[in-house]
Amino acid sequence: MSIPLAADQILRVPLLPVLAAQGLAVRRKAQLLPEPIGPREGRTGRGPRLRLLIAGDSSAAGVGAGTQDQALSGHLVKHLARHHSVEWRLEATTGHTTRDTLERLQTIEGTYDAVVTALGVNDVTRGVTYARFVERQNQLARILTQRFGARRVVVTAVPQMNRFPSLPHPLAWVLGRQSERLDRGLQQVVAAHPQLRHLSLDLPDDPALAAPDGYHPSPKTYAIWAESAARLLLQA
């Protein structure tokens, strides 16, 4: 049985010239924000031991913040350190897709109790299909829970790209529909693995929540994100 195409998939072909032009314009105007300075591993807090891994793309790496203390890792570790002795590690790089993260984690040894992932935007922009994305996210879930032994994995939702201030329409609409589609697949992956929890951030339309590039989170968003992720991790 054939699967009917969504409206954005049908319109993508006649819109290709416009989408290509807008994509090039966005790249030319893009502010290439660096990954924040600061440690990418450490130990802090008091209480039961908690080994934490943060993995993913530029948002996991903290782009949009000046330092790691202002990024996801810094805020998250502070929350968890109120209850645990946290041994943490950040494995994230700008531009990484799910496939890139899978390859990177193959080089890492160790055991982790808790993991937070942030992936999907680069899968959208690289044209990764729904089926391939779901397959790779399932592989990632197995690595984190079986090889690393994670008891709780917080899987951050694929961001709603139609809300990125730097993206014009119809490009924002097309990317937004695809990001929504991939996130539905991500939720199916989460449902198939009892250690996983899906984290969707319901953020208001507030300019202060976006970095100056209009594409990445601001420190304010990282604080909200970290608080929500910590709450899910502490429920374990």
Question: Mutual orientation of helices 130-142 and 98-105 as an angle, nearest 10°?
Answer: 20
The 3-state DSSP class for residue 67 equals strand
pLDDT digits (tens, 9 = 90+) for 85-139: 999 999 999 999 999 999 999 999 999 999 999 999 999 999 999 999 999 999 9
All structural domains of the chain with their residue ranges: 38-201
Band of the pLDDT at 55, cuts 50, 70, 90? very high
Question: From CA 3, how far away is CA 22, in angstroms rounded?
Answer: 29
Nearest Cα residue to 57 out of 3, 107, 108, 116: 116
CATH superfamily of 38-201: SGNH hydrolase (3.40.50.1110)
Band of the pLDDT at 15, cuts 50, 70, 90? low
